[in-house]
Structure formats: structure tokens, C-alpha cells
Structure 1
Amino acid sequence: MSSPYLPATTDSLALATEAKDPSEAISILYRVLDDPSSSPDALRMKEQAITNLTKLLTDENRGEDLRSLLTQLRPFFSLIPKAKTAKIVRGIIDSVAKIPGTSDLQIALCKEMVLWTRAEKRTFLRQRVEARLAALLMESKEYSEALTLLSGLVKEVRRLDDKLLLVDIDLLESKLHFSLRNLPKAKAALTAARTAANAIYVPPAQQGAIDLQSGILHAEEKDYKTAYSYFFEAFESFNALDDPKAVFSLKYMLLCKIMVNQADDVGGIISSKAGLQYLGPDLDAMKAVADAHSKRSLNLFEIALRDYKAQLEEDPIVHRHLSSLYDTLMEQNLCRLIEPFSRVEIAHIAELIELPTDHVERKLSQMILDKKFAGTLDQGAGCLVIFDDPKTDAIYPATLETISNVGKVVDSLYVRSAKIMA
């Protein structure tokens, strides 16, 4: 009768490598982990088996099996150093994240590990798992729960003065407050992250994340030139690491160029050596928006929004700025169209601009209230009446200035006469 387990040796690992299919290899590796031996060599082989098994389960999209593996390994974790335990746990959680559609599984897994780390008093690992859990909750739009978790975690990590983790938490807090549209707190958290980062060596990926968040916050304040420089720094960091976030940094760089009326530069950036590496739907979407902006064409703008909905509408940062750009472009087009008229049908303007009549009517009334031009809407006749710009007579300001000067002279004479009388 064959043994239920395989000895944790290089031969057993080689046996798994030579297996005909992944299922057989997975079965062999599970049997290696069942080896009761706790010698240093056996423990080292088991660590390698865990790495190989994690990769195979990830490739097979077996998220639940990875979750079960973490539970199964708990007795093994008591035999190895805490640092190695932390590395294995975080590696398995990262592997689950690579499997599509596992957000709920990741949250459940992190919650399980938090409970286990609390029971085992593994503070270092618990803090990192809690930070990961807060990020997952934020992605799932569970903002209240994420904020509560982060508030307690920040205080605890500050007491321990773990600056590397503190940078991660402060950056995450900044993103969370930004999602809640609380810009002052988002900026304060980002400043705290930068302060902590200045005291230590920060890995390039983390520095890129800080620069990316800085660019997003500056863009939100309409400071697109500063935002562009931060996005460029983030792109340099991510590009050197072949990180997928590089394409988002490049996308936001192009967005900044469009927002400062430099849409003509977009084509040059895309065709540069760095830009050619990331050709795809994201850059095509920004190129289409840049072309529409250059031609001042609302029709082309709407076609771009429709054709690249996933890249433009579903990206909250791009969507917010493009909504503002669309309004500006629409106002410029309407002002250009109504310029020759003193009275014109709203339906005619809608036909010229190729937009629904009620949409145009609503925008014109907003522009009148914002004093973009002088006029009124005659809704009974369905017309827009444009008033001539009132010309200010130059004599009035001059008269006011003269009266003001005379007043100063009289005040001066009164002061002098009071001194003489005294």
C-alpha cells in the first residue's frame, strides 16, 4: 500500500514538475505538504512546494482552493519564522487577486486571516492584511467600513513608527477621502504619506503611486500643468517596472494636455518611443478626444464617448474632467452659432449643433444665468432673443474718479484748517 504522503525532497518536487497535467502536479504537491517531517531540509522543500502549488492553483483559477490552502497551512506556519509566514500569506492573497471576479473571496479571505493573526498575536502580519482589506473594501465601495478600519490602523502604526506601512496606509486614506469627494482630507493624508516617505527609502512602485495620486489631486484643482508633471513622474516609475499602471499615468498625461488646450501635442506623445509601447484602446480613446477638441466638434466628441465608453465613461477621473471639457466645448460652439443673430429659433440652433432641442434650451438658460451672454428665452415662441452688449459710457467712471479726488482735497483742507484754528 502506497504512503498517503510523499517525502519533502527535491525528487518529489521534480515528480510534480514532470506531471502530465496540472491536476496531477497539484495532487503530488498536496501529498508533499502532508509529510510530517519538520527537519530544516523538509521545511525548505515544503516552502518551495507551497510556491509551486500557489502558482498552479492560480493558473487554474482555483481561488477557493487557495483559500483552503491558507487554512491547511496554519500548523506549518508555527514551524517557520514569522517573516516567512508573512511572505507566504501575502503571496497567496496576491495570487487570489490575480484570478478575475474574486473580490468577495479576497475580502472573506482577508477577514479570516485578520482573525487568525489576532489569535496568534502576529501584529506585523495583521496590520498588512488589514491594510489590504481596507483597499479591497474601498474598491467594493464599502467606504464607511474601510474608513473605520483605516482610522484605527493609522493610530496603531504611528505608535509603532513603521514608516513603510504608514506610507501605504496614508496613501490609501488619501484615495478613500478622494472617492468620498473630501479633497481637504485627501490632500492632508497625501501630505502625511509624503512626509513619511521622505524619512525612508521608498520602492519605485510606491513612489509612482504617490506621484499618481498627487497628479489626480492637482488635476481636481484644475492645476493641470503641475498634474502633468506628477503623472509624468509616475509614468517613468511604472514604465521602468513594466507595471500596468504606466498606461493609466500616460492616459492622464494626455488628458492634462487636452484640458490646457494643447490637444495637438497628444499625437506626438503617443508616437514617441515611450508611447508606442502602450498603444491600445486607452490611448486611442484619448487621441479621439484630442481630435474632437482640436476641431471643436461636439459630434466627434460624442462619437468618441460612445466608441470608447469603457476607457472614458467608466474611468471616474477621466469622466469627471471630460464632462467639464464637454460643457466648455458646448458653450464655445453655442456662442459661435448665436453670434450672427439677434433673435433665433432654439430648434434651428439645435439643428446646427446636432443636439436635442431640450438639451440646447437647458444649456442656453444656464449660460444666460451664468452671464456668458446677454439674452432671454422666449419659450412661447421657442426663440432665443440676444441683447446687444451694453456699452458703458466712459464719462461715468471719469466723473466718479473726479468726485473721489475732490473729496480727498476737501478732507485735506479740513485737516489743515483744523490745525490753524487750534
Structure 2
Amino acid sequence: GITREIHSATAAGSFANMMEVEVEHKESKGELLQKKLEDIRALEETDVEEAIKRYKAIIALVDEDGEIVAEKTAAIYALGELYAQKGRHQDLRNFIVDTRPFFSTIAKAKTAKILKELLNIFGRIPETEKLQAEFCKDTILWCEKEGRSFLKQRVQARLASLLLGMQQYKDALALINKLVKDVKKIDDKILLVEISIIESRIHLALKNVPKAKGSLTAARSAANAIYCPPSLQAEIDIQSGVLCSEEGDYKTAYSYFFEGFEGFDSSKNVVKAAQCLKYMLMVKIMTNQSADVYNLINTKVGVKYAGTEIEAIKAIADAHKKRSIHKFADVKEKYANELSKDWFISAHLDALQDNLLVQNLLRIIEPFSRVEITHVASLIDLPRAQVEAKLSEMVLEKKLNGILDQGSGDLIVFDEVPEDKTFKAGLETLAELNNVVDKLYAKARRAVA
């Protein structure tokens, strides 16, 4: 009996030792790969091709029991980032396709997470929207073949967003409408919030503000029914701010942009946080609060997100403060890339410039009852054709009470005629009389009946 107990204890001890060795082996294998990944990252600076080769070697490792999924995933992200940094968009696309066999060895939810991050990395390469859209379409077909409906719907949402960016509004709207119906059936609230925001952006691009607001309301309703991640809530806030700006409610828009900024900042989304900060500054300019722009830029937050895009907004504030049309033109030329790529900034900059031109023209022509258009153009230092076109537009929009005499090339300004209150009161009296007669007629008909 004692001998049997000794043998049992020895066997148990041996098994425990074996387990310890196995754990150590697992840990050392993961640690070894982590060390290799660090070495490869250092190699990126000196030999890109060798770094790519070594990343691919780690990704290709056989992992039957799922020991090194985290390390292989890290290698996938690192290689994707490297391709993006070097602008090798075609290599990145091919790499993601080549990674599909690995996706079949891991959970579908994990696959969706990895692919979403790779698409985000892809999106950081400038001027690759068309290639990204083609890749999304190819991935959707692969998802259908593999029966991955969860992933397919997320890639479709990304495709709709890309089509919106490429101004293919009809295709984007058709895709998003179908996607909304499909997602409502499975009751995926998070995805429903995401696609409702995209739908709102598409309607806004089509200048259909009521439908844009309706889609945003749907996004809010879905978000209220679940725990909404801060980054997604920030997306709702920024779209809310854009819609308020579209309706001229810049004060409320600023509040939404500030909420969005805090959400993106806490989520470490630097690009989106900087976008919200730009919008906050822009609406301050729209409400003639240029001083607040300088204060915001000089705060700790402003310094954190400092860059050429923020400098461009500061330059706009300077031009607006000085009421200088020529400074506006200089800013648009100097920061053409920073200002033109964001439709919100570009649209509001055009509105500011147009409003400033109107104000300057009204100030110049104020002393005159008749003035040569050429003289006005010389005073404002702009081409005659541009000034004439703007004056004509102002007359048509009733911002200016006058006419353009094409024969003499003069602008004739009329005195403001005071409103005839008697005429207005007479119209109101007639309307009331008409209402009384209609009621008497209806009463007479009932009496006869």
C-alpha cells in the first residue's frame, strides 16, 4: 500500500512537472514571437523588404492549438501599417486577401475585428477610395461564399461610406436602404446606429435635410436602447453639429462638436478629434467670435492637436477679423489642400467669403445713387466681370434695391421705400371679410338643408 502511494505521488509530481514545462513552453513561445516582432519593428527603418518577409513568416506559422493567435494578429496589424506608411496600397490589398486562410482558423467575431482594423489602415492611404471600394465588393462576395453574414454587413456599411465619399450618392443610398432593412431583422443595434449615421450623411449630401434629420433620429433611438461606445456616440454628435450648422444654428452646433471632440479624444481617435476641433473653430468664426478661435488654439487641447489644418482655420479667422477679401483668397491658395478636402470647411469658407464680398460692396456703394461698375470694381480691387455678376445676384436676391444699366455700365441705386402699412392692413381686412363670408355661406346652406 505504501509503495502504491509512493508511485502515485511520483506520478502526480511528474504530471505537475510536465504541466509546468508545457506552460513554460507556451509562455516562452509567445515571448519569443513578441521579441521577434520588436526586432522586426526596429528593422523597418533600415530594411523594409526584410521586415515584410519576416512579418509574413510569423503570419504563416502553423498554429494548430491557437497558442499564438495574438502574436499573429499583431504581425498582421504591423505589416498592414507598414504597407500604409509606404503608400503601397496594392500590396496591402493583396496582403489582406492572402490573409483569408488565417481567418478560417479563428472565431468569426475576431475575424470581423481584424478586418475592420485593416480597412481602417487602408483608409489612411490618400486617394485609394476606388481601390478600397473594389476590395470591399470582393470581400462581400467572399463573405457570401463563406456564409459570414455578420462580417458582410459591416463591409457593406464601409462600402456605402466609401461610395458617399466618391459622390456616388445613388448607389450609396440604394445599398444603405437595403442594409437598414436587413439589420433591423437581426436587431443589431450597434450596426444600426452606424448605418443610420451613414444614411443621414448621404441624405445631407443630397441636400435633403429633413430625411438626414430623420436618419439621425433613428441612430439616436437605437443608441439609447443599448450601451453606445463613446466613439460611436461622438459620431452621432458630430453629425448633429453638421445638421445644426446647415440650418444656421451655430451655437447648438458648437455644443455638439464639443461633445464629439471629448468622445473622440477619450477614445484616442486623433483624426476625428482634430476634425471636431476644426469644426468648433469654424462655427466660432461663423458667429463672429474670432477671439474665441485664438483662445481655443492656445489652450492645452489646441496645442495637442496643432498642425497645418488648425493653422489654416486660424488664418481664416485672421482674414475674417480684418474683413479682407484678398486675405481670404490668399488663405485659400496657401492652404488649398487642407481646406478643400473637407467639404464642411470648404462650404462654410465659401459662405464666409461670399458674405464678406456682399458687405464690402454694400459699404462701397452706400454713398452713391448712381455709380459706374468699373469704379466699384477698382475700389474693391476685383475684376469687373466678378463685381458685375455679384451685383446682379444681389439685385435678384433683393439684397440691393437697384438695377444695372447695361447700356451705360452703371449701377443705379434706389432709395429705400418705407413699407406701406395701409396696404398691408387692407389685405388683412379683406382676408378676414372673406373668412366671414365663407362662414355665412356655410351657415345658410345648413339652414336650407
Q: Give the TM-score, by structure 1 length.
A: 0.83
Show the 5 A alignment for 1:314-393: 314-391=341-418
Q: Which residue, out of 127, 135, 142, partners 1:116?
A: 142
1:310 aligns with 2:337: yes
Please report how far the alpha carbon of residue 9 of structure 1 lies from its aligned counterpart in structure 2 after TM superposition: 4.4
Distance in 2 (alpha carbons) for counterparts of 1:166 and 1:26:
37
Q: State the 1:139 CA deviation.
A: 1.9
Q: Give structure 1 stretches of 5+ with no counterpart.
A: 1-7, 408-422
Secondary structure of the 1:376 match is: strand
Determine the structure 1 residue equivalent to 2:199: 173
Q: What does the per-residue CA deviation read over 1:50-95, in whole Å, with 9 as the maximum and x for residues that have no partner?
A: 4554455555554444434444444443332222222333333333
Q: Is the 8 A contact 1:57 1:66 kept in 2?
A: yes
Deviation at 1:17, TM superposition (A): 4.9
- Find the residue that maps to 1:41 and give its secondary structure: coil
Aligned partners of 2:370 and 2:410 also within 8 Å: yes
| Root-mean-square deviation over aligned CA pairs | 3.2
Q: Deviations over 1:140-168 (max 9, x none)?
A: 22322222221211111111111011111
Note if contact 1:16-1:26 (Cα within 8 Å) is conserved in structure 2.
no
Deviates most, 293-302 or 120-129:
293-302
Farther off after superposition, 180-189 or 164-173: 180-189
Q: How many angstroms apart in 2 are the aligned matches of 1:393 and 1:70? A: 73
Give how far 1:393 is off.
Answer: 7.9
SS in 1 for 2:412: strand
The 1:97/1:259 distance shift into structure 2, 3 A limit, reads closer
Deviation digits for residues 102-141 of structure 1, max 9, x if unmatched? 3333223222221121112111111112111222222222
1:143 equivalenced with 2:169 (yes/no): yes
Aligned partner of 1:293: which letter?
A: H
1:271-295, Cα deviation, whole Å (9 max, x unpaired):
2232222233323322232233233
Aligned-pair CA distance for 1:185: 1.6
Structure 1 residue 356: Cα displacement: 1.3
Q: Would the alpha carbon gap of residues 334 and 120 (structure 1) be closer, same or farther in structure 2, given more than 3 Å must change? A: same
Number of residues of Structure 1 aligned to a counterpart in Structure 2 = 398
Corresponding position of 1:193? 219
Q: Which residue of 2 aligns with 1:209?
A: 235
CA contact under 8 A between 2:33 and 2:71: conserved in structure 1? no
Equivalent in the alignment of 1:420: none
2:11 aligns to what?
none
Matched residue SS, 1:261? coil
CA distance in 2, matches of 1:365, 1:249: 37
Q: Is the 8 A contact 2:37 2:75 kept in 1?
A: no
Question: SS in structure 2 opposite 1:344?
Answer: strand
> What is the correspondence of 1:201-280 to structure 2 with a 5 Å cutoff?
201-242=227-268, 243-280=270-307
Conserved 8 A contact 1:13-1:29: no
C-alpha distance in 2, partners of 1:399/1:241?
Answer: 60
Q: State the percentage of identical aligned residues.
A: 46
After superposition, the Cα gap between the structure-2 partners of 1:36 and 1:177, relative to the gap in structure 1 and judged at 3 Å, is same
Over 3 Å counting, the alpha-carbon distance change for 1:324 and 1:13 in structure 2 is closer
User: Structure 2 unaligned runs (5+)?
Assistant: 1-27, 434-449
Judge conservation of contact 1:9–1:45 (CA < 8 Å) in 2: no
**SS of equivalent to 1:83:** helix
- For 1:74 and 1:222, the matched residues in 2 are separated by 48
Contact 1:255 1:286 in 2 (8 A): yes
- Pair 1:60–1:304, CA change in 2 (3 A): closer
Deviation at 1:366, TM superposition (A): 2.5
Residue identity matched to 1:201: Y
Indicate if the aligned counterparts of 1:376 and 1:384 stay in contact, CA closer than 8 A. Answer: yes
Q: 1:38 to 1:324 in 2, by over 3 A?
A: same
Q: Which residue of 2 aligns with 1:419?
A: none
Q: Deviation at 1:343? A: 2.0
SS in 2 for 1:350: helix
SS at 1:333 equivalent: helix
Where 1:244 maps in the other structure, the secondary structure is helix
Q: TM-score by structure 2 length?
A: 0.78
Moved more, 354-363 or 138-147: 138-147
In the TM superposition, residue 46 of structure 1 has moved relative to its aligned partner by: 4.5
Conserved? CA contact 1:175–1:213, under 8 Å? yes
1:211 to partner: Cα distance: 0.8
For the residues of structure 2 that align with 1:392 and 1:52, how far apart are their CA atoms?
A: 71
Q: Structure 2 counterpart of 1:316, which letter?
A: W
Secondary structure at the aligned position of 2:407 is classed as coil
Kindly state the Cα deviation for residue 205 of structure 1 after the two structures are TM-superposed.
Answer: 1.4
